[in-house]
Amino acid sequence: MPYAIELRDISKRFGAVQANKDICLQVPAGTIHGIIGENGAGKSTLMSIIYGFYEADTGHIEVDGKRVDIRSSQDAINAGIGMVHQHFMLVENFSVLENVILGAEGGAVLKNGIGAARVELQRLAHEYSLDIDVDAIVEELPVGLQQRVEILKALYRGARILILDEPTGVLTPQEADHLFRILKALKEQGVTVLLITHKLREIMASTDNVSVMRQGEMVAHRETVNTSKEDLAELMVGKKVRLTVDKDEAQPSDVLLSAKNLSQFDSQGVKRLKDVSLELRAGEILGIAGVSGNGQSELLSVLSGITPMDEGEIHFAGQVINAKAPKNAAQMRDLKMAHVPEDRHKMGLVTGFEAYEAAVLGYHNSPVYNGKILMNRKAMLDECNDRMAAWDVRPPNPHLKTANFSGGNQQKIVIAREVEQNPEVLLIGQPTRGVDIGAIENIHEQIVKLRDSGKAILLVSVELDEIMALSDRIIVMFDGAVVGELDAKDANERTLGLMMANAFNEEEGVSA
């Protein structure tokens, strides 16, 4: 039996970067095949080649044993390949039906096309148990259902091979499990699924086979039943890695920061942060769990002084900060609060700056970096050199543009900048997002070390594993509010997942 899709010696080079090198892959029809690798391993490039966004320099693709020439996404669709992108490609204010027929309207007048599509969609929804209200407006649907629309879109175009790129990034664990049930149903109907992810748990839970990519090459193929998380992690990184964090019992002492009933409205007047109260103690890591977009970013932004709160107050370093007496980010820094933002590209760094310039962002007014009139370049460079050595930033070149460092090294530059100021409170968002597994271990160790030196740390992460591994106490946020708090010892994936979906009380009948 021919493979549903087979890649033969695919290579792709961008300038000096060999993104894919002699990739071979065979995916039997009707299976779920995982592709796993670190950021920058070449997974996305490979999928873009299959879906026709890029053309391979060498090599070719076979679908059902026949060689196909894919030069555009239309060619891919014609070959029966569908793709669900990490960031949905939906028109938010269109209905489900309108989104599904977009690009396949079937003529200049919509009426006929819509009628036919409605019938077809109902058939598909029934066949694959993908129930959805086809007249609902997409932006009013929860993300899990929006993703379902993407899947329907692909199936409507006749996809027999479905590629999903990091599909669970925006889902709760329960929604993710539901997605995997859908994928199993698709598989039973003979659809072949390619699942791109960096989450080992998902690979283990849902795939039949798994291929591992590292630095542009396909380094291993495994049957999922014959492998393990540790095995896959080692293949991804190329060396043994530890997936847990060693830390002693926390010794929390004084409350360093307390927030009372913080609320914040966005520019449209929507309340994004709802009466959030919390206390940060010295020598403790407080984890904020929640699905991305449930107020965590706003919380960091208000605590760090980037946006003023509209209601509530913060007690910190002997000061009372409220809407009448706000403090901006520079003033909060002066009170010894450091902040590693969630998005280092958008916020934590200026990617056009050389590393030594980005390494003083936020502290650029400090007398250490300034002479009377001009900035003291030598002091900045010396310090940057020292820190790059101490934090093992590679390459250790303070003149390299920040954009040209890898994600992990960029993050080290940011964390070093904030931690070396010896703050009392560290706010840290998504500390290891887009960071290589090898560097994660190091970053986690640094966070625990800071805790053990008696500082207070607020950790925001959408990775539950990370929250559970690092935190001493966990707060769960949903829709801008705190919906639960628990000791890290009592936390498990299921409890947290239910709280993140705000379904804990209903299902368990227990007050959180």
Partner 1 sequence: MSQAKVPAWVNVALIPVLNILLAFLVSGLVILAIGENPIEAAGYLIYGAFGYDEGMGYTLYYATNLIFTGLAVSVAFKGGLFNIGGEGQAYIGGLGVGLICLSLDHTMPFYVIAPLAVIGAAVFGAAWGYIPAYLQARRGSHIVITTIMFNFIASSLMVYLIVNWLKQDGRMAPNSRTFEENAWLPYLHEVFSPLGIEIGDSPLNLSFIWALLCCVFVWGLVWHTRWGYQLRTLGTNPTAARYAGIDTAKVTIWAMLISGGLAGFVGLNEIMGVNHNLLLNFTAGYGFAGIAVALMGRNNPIGIILAAILFGALYQGGAELAFEIPTITPEIVVVIQGLVILFSGALEHMFKDRIEGFFIRRAVA
In degrees, rounded to 5, the angle at the alpha carbon of residue 23 between the alpha carbons of residues 18 and 27 is: 150
**Please, which residue, 351 or 505, has the CB nearer to partner 1?**
351
Longest dimension (CA), the chain: 77
Report the C-alpha gap between 139 and 93 in whole angstroms.
6
Should residue 435 be labelled a site residue for partner 1 when binding is judged by CB under 8 A? Answer: no
Report the C-alpha gap between 330 and 337 in whole angstroms.
10
**Please, which residue, 14 or 254, has the CB nearer to partner 1?**
14
Should residue 332 be labelled a site residue for partner 1 when binding is judged by CB under 8 A? Answer: yes
Report the C-alpha gap between 70 and 64 in whole angstroms.
14
Should residue 269 be labelled a site residue for partner 1 when binding is judged by CB under 8 A? Answer: no
Should residue 377 be labelled a site residue for partner 1 when binding is judged by CB under 8 A? Answer: yes
**Please, which residue, 33 or 417, has the CB nearer to partner 1?**
417
Should residue 74 be labelled a site residue for partner 1 when binding is judged by CB under 8 A? Answer: no
In whole angstroms, how far apart are CA 133 and each of 96, 136, 138, 141, 340?
Answer: 8, 6, 10, 10, 41
Should residue 365 be labelled a site residue for partner 1 when binding is judged by CB under 8 A? Answer: yes
Q: Which of 11, 86, 351, 446 binds partner 1 (CB under 8 A)?
A: 351
Report the C-alpha gap between 482 and 290 in whole angstroms.
10
**Please, which residue, 329 or 488, has the CB nearer to partner 1?**
329
Should residue 364 be labelled a site residue for partner 1 when binding is judged by CB under 8 A? Answer: yes
Number of residues counted as binding partner 1 (CB under 8 A): 36
Should residue 272 be labelled a site residue for partner 1 when binding is judged by CB under 8 A? Answer: no
What dihedral angle (degrees, nearest 10) is formed by the CA atoms of 205, 239, 170, 341? 160
In whole angstroms, how far apart are CA 115 and each of 88, 130, 133, 155, 409?
Answer: 25, 19, 15, 17, 53
Helix (H) or strand (E) holding 386: helix 377-390
Q: Which of 169, 348, 429, 480 binds partner 1 (CB under 8 A)?
A: 348
Should residue 319 be labelled a site residue for partner 1 when binding is judged by CB under 8 A? Answer: no
In whole angstroms, how far apart are CA 12 and each of 22, 218, 339?
Answer: 9, 13, 38
Q: Which of 240, 346, 378, 489 binds partner 1 (CB under 8 A)?
A: 346
Should residue 339 be labelled a site residue for partner 1 when binding is judged by CB under 8 A? Answer: yes
Contact segment (CB under 8 A) with partner 1 among 9-17, 74-82, 420-428, 489-497 equals 9-17
**Please, which residue, 225 or 373, has the CB nearer to partner 1?**
373
Q: Which of 4, 171, 183, 349 binds partner 1 (CB under 8 A)?
A: 349
Should residue 328 be labelled a site residue for partner 1 when binding is judged by CB under 8 A? Answer: yes
Using DSSP's 3-state secondary structure scheme, residue 225 falls into helix
Q: What is the DSSP letter of 134?
A: T
Start-to-end CA span in the chain (Å): 54
In whole angstroms, how far apart are CA 245 and each of 194, 475, 481?
Answer: 31, 20, 29
Query: CB-side exposure of 139: number of CA atoms within 13 Å?
Result: 4
State the binding string over 39-68 for partner 1 (x if CB under 8 A, else -): -x----------------------------
Should residue 305 be labelled a site residue for partner 1 when binding is judged by CB under 8 A? Answer: yes
**Please, which residue, 158 or 395, has the CB nearer to partner 1?**
395
> Closest approach of Cβ 349 to partner 1, in Å?
7
CA of residue 189 relative to chain centroid, distance = 30
**Please, which residue, 94 or 265, has the CB nearer to partner 1?**
265
> Closest approach of Cβ 342 to partner 1, in Å?
11
**Please, which residue, 245 or 350, has the CB nearer to partner 1?**
350
Q: What is the DSSP letter of 207?
A: -
Q: Which of 93, 261, 404, 422 binds partner 1 (CB under 8 A)?
A: 404
Should residue 104 be labelled a site residue for partner 1 when binding is judged by CB under 8 A? Answer: no
Report the C-alpha gap between 405 and 402 in whole angstroms.
6
Q: Which residue has the tokens 């594993």?
A: 465
Q: Which of 373, 489, 507, 509 binds partner 1 (CB under 8 A)?
A: 373
> Closest approach of Cβ 61 to partner 1, in Å?
25
In degrees, rounded to 5, the angle at the alpha carbon of residue 406 between the alpha carbons of residues 336 and 452 is: 35
Q: Which of 148, 187, 214, 333 binds partner 1 (CB under 8 A)?
A: 333
Contact segment (CB under 8 A) with partner 1 among 218-226, 308-316, 364-372, 444-452 equals 364-372
332 φ, ψ to 5°? -65, -40
Q: Which residue has the tokens 């966990």?
A: 474
Q: Which of 258, 353, 385, 420 binds partner 1 (CB under 8 A)?
A: 353
In whole angstroms, how far apart are CA 242 and each of 125, 232, 462?
Answer: 42, 12, 20
Q: Which residue has the tokens 């039949």?
A: 208
Should residue 238 be labelled a site residue for partner 1 when binding is judged by CB under 8 A? Answer: no
CA of residue 443 relative to chain centroid, distance = 17
Contact segment (CB under 8 A) with partner 1 among 77-85, 199-207, 327-335, 422-430 equals 327-335
State the binding string over 12-41 for partner 1 (x if CB under 8 A, else -): ---xxx----------------------x-
Should residue 406 be labelled a site residue for partner 1 when binding is judged by CB under 8 A? Answer: yes
Contact segment (CB under 8 A) with partner 1 among 23-31, 283-291, 356-364, 497-505 equals 356-364
Q: Which residues of this protein are in contact with partner 1, per CB under 8 A?
A: 15-17, 40, 304-306, 328-333, 339, 341, 346-353, 357, 361-362, 364-365, 369-370, 373-375, 377, 404, 406
